[in-house]
Amino acid sequence: CQVIVHDVNELTEKLFPIVEAMQKHFSAGSGTYYSDSIFFLSVAMHRIMPKEITRIIQVDLDLKYKTNIRDLFDEFDNFQEGAVIGIAREMQPVYRHTFWQYRRENPQTKVGEPPPDGLPGFNSGVLLLNLEAMRQSKLYNQLLEPTMVQKLTEKYHFKGHLGDQDFFTMVGMEHPELFHVLDCTWNRQLCTWWRDHGYSDVFDQYFQCEGEVKIYHGNCNTPIPED
């Protein structure tokens, strides 16, 4: 087992020029803060990691594993051609809320609608990054360009605050083929904030998750069930 520690400041220095343009669209602050770049690490991981690293699993800290994380690596084998990232759906109606203007202008859209047929957006708590595929995907790298980010945020009237998750969600509305959707049991989010903030009528359509949970995600400081 080999452990390599990466310096956060060094990574941020490499990241900032790549993700600076998207920060104003997907950061909580009103400005573009240098330190915020780290919240976009996954977006440009393929540009800053050594070429010999071809796959990475990136996870949040507020997780509890109910299975061997090695099993998650097998999901890389299920990627369809063209997919570069494995990610689970968002389990709250947060993007139903964020895309309200686009949804109003496009009443038939699947954007922000619940699964299985809708596009509820993504949650970046558990990420499979196929760095090799990310490097080789012309489409994915075009989408990192400031002009493309601007074009998409304007099309979807998008203003978010969740960093990489917002970027992946917006791109997924336009190019779902770039993503391998992980089963909800790989990122069973527990936060119920939106249930009490205007969306109780539809909340359970987003929140339900069938099957044996493999990873619990105690997002928004939600307690994780004891064994």
What would the pLDDT profile of 84-106 be if each residue is shown by its tens digit?
A: 999 999 999 999 999 999 999 99
Helix (H, G, I), strand (E, B) or coil at 103: helix
- Does residue 1 fall inside a structural domain? no
Q: Which amino acid is at 79?
A: F
pLDDT higher than 70, residue 3 = yes
The rounded distance, in Å, linking the Cα atoms of 167 and 122 is 9
- Does residue 224 fall inside a structural domain? no
Total-model pTM: 0.96
Q: What is the average pLDDT value for the chain, to the nearest integer? A: 95
- Does residue 176 fall inside a structural domain? yes
- Does residue 227 fall inside a structural domain? no
Asked if 156 and 170 count as a contact pair (C-beta separation under 8 A), the reply is yes
Sorted by sequence, the CB contacts under 8 Å of residue 139 that are 6+ apart come out as 82, 175, 178
- Does residue 222 fall inside a structural domain? no
Q: What's the domain range around 158?
A: 8-217
- Does residue 173 fall inside a structural domain? yes
- Does residue 171 fall inside a structural domain? yes
CATH number at residue 97: 3.90.550
The distance from CA 59 to its chain's CA centroid, rounded to whole angstroms, is: 11
pLDDT higher than 80, residue 50 = yes
- Does residue 223 fall inside a structural domain? no
pLDDT confidence band for 183 (50 / 70 / 90): very high
Q: Count CA atoms within 13 Å of residue 197 on its CB side.
A: 9
CA angle 90-95-96, nearest 5°?
115
Tally of domains in the chain: 1
Q: Count each helix (H run) and each strand (E run) in the chain, helices first.
A: 10, 7
pLDDT higher than 90, residue 2 = no
